[in-house]
Amino acid sequence: KQEVTQIPAALSVPEGENLVLNCSFTDSAIYNLQWFRQDPGKGLTSLLLIQSSQREQTSGRLNASLDKSSGRSTLYIAASQPGDSATYLCAVRGSNFNKFYFGSGTKLNVKP
């Protein structure tokens, strides 16, 4: 069964810092990987989707990379802002592409 792990579980940084969130998965036979943001008590907001054939995706200050063979993805956030404070989740779509496996998330706090 696919297991998704996110490190660190929590991260506190001063505003303006560049940071990297990590996601690892045990079964490299994935269809795609999606990064989400979750604000307290709210739903999930999609940030980036990387297909298994892609190495990275970028959106604004966010850059996500995927190394399928090693079972890793990173989410890079440039010039962090207090509004980036949230929990960031990665989710892997399995090779049968109808199941999604989520990590536990990294809770990010960006201090003004």
Partner 1 sequence: EPEVTQTPSHQVTQMGQEVILRCVPISNHLYFYWYRQILGQKVEFLVSFYNNEISEKSEIFDDQFSVERPDGSNFTLKIRSTKLEDSAMYFCASSVGASDTQYFGPGTRLTVL
Please identify which residue in 34, 65, 73, 106 interacts with partner 1, judged by CB under 8 A: 34
User: What gap in Å lies between CA 20 and CA 14, rounded to an integer?
Assistant: 14
Please identify which residue in 11, 19, 44, 62 interacts with partner 1, judged by CB under 8 A: 44
104 binds partner 1 (CB under 8 A): yes
Would you mind telling me the total number of residues written for the chain in this entry? Answer: 112
Task: Classify 97 as helix, strand or coil.
Answer: coil
Shortest approach of partner 1 to residue 112 CB, angstroms? 27
Q: Which CB atom, from 19 or from 44, has the smaller least distance to partner 1?
A: 44
User: What gap in Å lies between CA 94 and CA 111, rounded to an integer?
Assistant: 36
CA nearest to 35, candidates 59, 68, 3, 11: 59
Stretch that binds partner 1, among 9-17, 63-71, 73-81, 103-111 (CB under 8 A): 103-111
Site for partner 1 (CB under 8 A): how many residues? 24
Q: Which CB atom, from 79 or from 97, has the smaller least distance to partner 1?
A: 97
CA nearest to 20, candidates 80, 83, 92: 80
